[in-house]
Amino acid sequence: MDKIRLLDLDSTELKSFCDSMGLPKYRAGQIKDWLLKGRSFGEMTNLPAELRDRLSANAVTGIPAVADVLRSSVDETVKFLFELEGGVLVESVLMKYAYGYSVCISSQAGCKMGCRFCASAGVAFSRDLTGGELLGQIIAIERHENIKVSHVVIMGIGEPMDNYDNVVRFLKNVSSADGLNISLRKISLSTCGVVPGILRLKDEGLPVTLSVSLHNPFDDERGEIMPVNKIHGLDELFAACREYVNATGRRITFEYAVIEGQNDSKRHALKLAERVRGMLCHVNLIPVNKIDGGKYRRPSRETIESFQKTLESKGVAVTVRRELGRDINAACGQLRKRVIS
């Protein structure tokens, strides 16, 4: 029988687990404290040795093992390769900003969405991560770097909306006062445009920032690089986004990787402005680094500025990300790997 993963449990469930093992209530609090510090059962030194052995026999912590660490030579970005149970590997990235530490975590081992610009699409989907495995990535990084993470982006490998229940469980646990207590307002959830997930999330009462990877305002062109567009076209996607904003009052972020000759024309900017007109949102323009052997290139500074000005002239709030860490932030796991290596 599979062992229970303790980081998957909320506090009530952890108390029930301890109860089922015949332990006094205070043990649940002790175990939780250790779990949040990323400690193994063997390191839970205020528990009797016999109890630690019983825990090991019946459960796992859910803290992933650090398989590799890669530090950017350009900025303070650190990429982690984690090994989960069953030998599954996922990536997470730590980024340092003026406001604190932000971690980008993976939600699945592999991805089914098949975005053309993303090498994760070529990696076979292995499995969904559990809520505890999402949480464990943050805890393991905090322990490894001896820091406190203040912001989280679910933008690594995987499509969070394709692993909806586990992601929502994670959101509830990571933000709970007796958990890591990270404000939901400091958490961004990124989707490539899985509309049913957006519509479900709007009713959860979880004030996260929804981030949509857009990259093109035209259905035919977007469909060529993002197969999800053939299932949920842009009219449906933007209608769902408007519903999300109306229900939550939260501003949506549209991520737009600007690629030379592909989506950087005035025609694209005007169509994008038309799509977001009147919506509480902002657009992040991400000048891509050269990827896929030069197939996708960064436009000139003038082209990007012109794109930005066209959007602004139509009243759209726009930012341009220029730093490497931010480029990394905007991409998915395997793309990050290429950029940072």
Q: Which of residues 78-137 bind ligand SF4 (CB under 6 A)?
A: 111, 113-115, 118, 120-121
Q: Which ranges of the chain would DSSP assign to H, the alpha helix?
A: 11-20, 26-36, 49-58, 131-145, 164-175, 195-201, 219-225, 228-231, 234-248, 266-276, 301-313, 324-330, 333-340
Phi and psi torsions of 22, nearest 5°: 75, 25
Q: Does 6 bind ligand SF4 (CB under 6 A)?
A: no
Strand 149-154 to 127-128 pairing: unpaired
> Residues 232, 212: contact at Cβ < 8 Å?
no
Q: Which of residues 177-196 bind ligand SF4 (CB under 6 A)?
A: 192
> What's the closest the beta carbon of residue 193 comes to ligand SF4, in angstroms?
9
Phi and psi torsions of 24, nearest 5°: -65, 155
Angstrom distance (rounded) from CA 188 to CA 191: 10
Tokens matching residue 192: 């490539």
Which residue in the set 159, 255, 264, 327 belongs to the binding site for ligand SF4 (CB under 6 A)?
159
Which residue in the set 23, 105, 152, 157 belongs to the binding site for ligand SF4 (CB under 6 A)?
157
Q: Which is nearer to ligand SF4, 157 or 214 (CB)?
A: 157
> What's the closest the beta carbon of residue 112 comes to ligand SF4, in angstroms?
7
Which residue in the set 36, 332, 339, 340 belongs to the binding site for ligand SF4 (CB under 6 A)?
332
Angstrom distance (rounded) from CA 279 to CA 271: 14
Q: Which is nearer to ligand SF4, 111 or 214 (CB)?
A: 111
Catalytic-role residue among 91, 133, 159, 255: 91
> What's the closest the beta carbon of residue 201 comes to ligand SF4, in angstroms?
16
To the query of whether residue 91 is one of the catalytic residues in this protein, the response is: yes
Binding-site size for ligand SF4 (CB under 6 A) equals 12
Give the residue numbers annotated as catalytic, written as ranges: 91, 332
**Sites of contact with ligand SF4 (CB under 6 A):** 111, 113-115, 118, 120-121, 157-159, 192, 332
